[in-house]
Structure 1
Amino acid sequence: MTLPPTRWELAGEDNRFYGLHFDALVREGADVAGEARLADALVARHARILDVGSGMGRIAAALTARGHDVVATEPDAALRAQSQAAYADVPVLPHEALAIPALEPFDLIVVVGNVFIYLGEGTERAVLAHLRSLLAPGGRILAGFHLTAVKSGSRTYPADEFVADASAAGLSVDWRFGSYELHAPNDDYAVWVLSAG
């Protein structure tokens, strides 16, 4: 199956800043695990977690360190290499969201770091439906992204459109927050917890 190019792919070298930015933060000792703390709170101990668009590996590594069984997937070769250099004990699959194979079901699927606003044009509902198919009974999806196109090559993805796409994919919105520290919803960034409807 030929998949449409993602917005991330189309942006090309304009997105190299991402890996460099987080590499600098890690070297400075900055806290880069906020998303992982919320993900950890959403599951029982030793949960099976899928990190979609795992980037340079910070969230997958933090969840692995907390004792979870984590599968990371990142289609960008440069980010995979960075992840494996920084967190050698966290294997990373090369699949984009629509190409993730049917694996043992997951208790939680993490899709943070603006993955949704870099998907291929018109694939959002298909991605949500595919991720739903990978959930274990009672499993949930943790998603987070900027609602407006503030990053190079990304799209604006209004909250009401995302909710409609999630519903069409058979998912319900359990919660919406404005940050990974559970601030009230706002018009800048949205954090979602979804479950199979």
Structure 2
Amino acid sequence: MSDPAPVPASRWAQAGPEATEGFGRRFAELVATGQDVDGEARLADALLPRGGRVLDVGAGMGRVSAALQARGHRVTAVEPDGALVEQCRATYPEVDVVHADLLELDDARVAGVLGDRPHQVDLVVCVGNVVVFLAEGTERRALATMRSRLAPGGRVLVGFHLVGGPEHARSYPPEEFVADVDAAGLRVQHRFGSYELHPPSDEYAVWVLSAAD
């Protein structure tokens, strides 16, 4: 069997810590002041069976993982940024966070929480602009990797800015995203304009995906 393709540096990594360190600090301040940071988790919870298996891709400081775990789900957080991994472990020590890129993740690294079926999750969570920070040209590979982790009936929750997104993030037009979804063996079940299920907008997109077959 050939070795997997190498994982190129993401747009996030290329931006460097000076450009990205404010992300974790901003959410830490929101959490500390009691602000609502659970919007994505509420929708994710609605998409899951009770006690569901979740893979939180690009989990950041772990706020979505922690909220879903508190709701009784089994969650593995995956985060490639070492500083955010440390922040997650300090803020939410109960969250199982794996320091890795999605594209280098193997079963052994998630089996501790997900048990004997680490390749079969009920929901892959990929929110907070993660897909627009992927390494250039890896979008279809990343989506196919998420597809490969789904249990029968499993779904993928994706959210990102269409305009006005973070600096250093790519522009990802909806039609291009849908083409990549199709090529990765997924299909769009729903598109919304927010995690509160507003109609689709030109500013932000929330997608619910499932396996095409």
What TM-score do the two structures reach when normalised by structure 2? 0.90
Structure-2 residue corresponding to 1:28: 33
Does the CA contact (< 8 Å) of 1:141 and 1:193 recur in 2? yes
Q: Deviations over 1:124-159 (max 9, x none)?
A: 000001110010011000000011362121000000
Which one of 3, 7, 18 corresponds to residue 3 of structure 1? 7
Residue aligning to 1:194:
209
Which residue number corresponds to residue 69 of structure 1? 74
1:118 to 101, 114, 133: 133
**Aligned pair count?**
197
Whether 2:63 is the aligned partner of 1:58: answer: yes
1:41 corresponds to which letter in structure 2? A
Tell me, which stretches of 5 or more residues in structure 1 are unaligned?
none
Cα contact 2:119–2:148 (8 A) shared by 1: no
Partners of 1:119 and 1:97 lie apart in 2 by 10
Counting only pairs closer than 5 Å after superposition, residues 97-116 of structure 1 correspond to structure 2 as 97-102=102-107, 103-116=118-131
1:129 aligns with 2:144: yes
Matches within 5 A, 1:39-50: 39-50=44-55
How many Å apart are 1:99 and its aligned residue?
Answer: 1.4
Q: Give the SS at the match of 1:43.
A: coil
Output the aligned Cα RMSD.
0.9
Structure 2 counterpart of 1:32, one-letter code: V
Q: Percent of aligned positions with the same letter in both sequences? A: 56
Mapped to 2, the partners of 1:150 and 1:35 lie a distance apart of 17
- The gaps in structure 2 that reach 5 residues or longer are 108-117
Runs of 4+ that moved beyond 3 A: none
CA distance in 1, matches of 2:106, 2:167: 29
The SS at the match of 2:88 is: helix
Select which of 151, 161, 173 maps to 1:158: 173
Aligned residue for 2:161? 146
- Is the counterpart of residue 19 in structure 1 residue 24 in structure 2? yes
Residues 112-133 of structure 1 deviation map (CA, whole Å, 9 limit, x = unaligned): 0000000000000000011100
Structure 1, 120-129 or 91-100: larger mean CA deviation? 91-100
1:12-59 CA deviation, whole Å, 9 max, x = no partner?
120111001000000110000100000000011000000000000100
Of residues 76-85 and 141-150 in structure 1, the stretch that sits farther from structure 2 once superposed is: 141-150
When normalised by structure 1's length, the TM-score is 0.98
Separation in structure 2 between the aligned mates of residue 150 and residue 141 of structure 1, nearest angstrom? 21
For each residue in 1:61-105, what CA deviation from the matched residue of structure 2 results, as whole angstroms up to 9, or x when unmatched? Answer: 000000000010001010001010000010100111211213341
Counterpart of 2:191?
A: 176
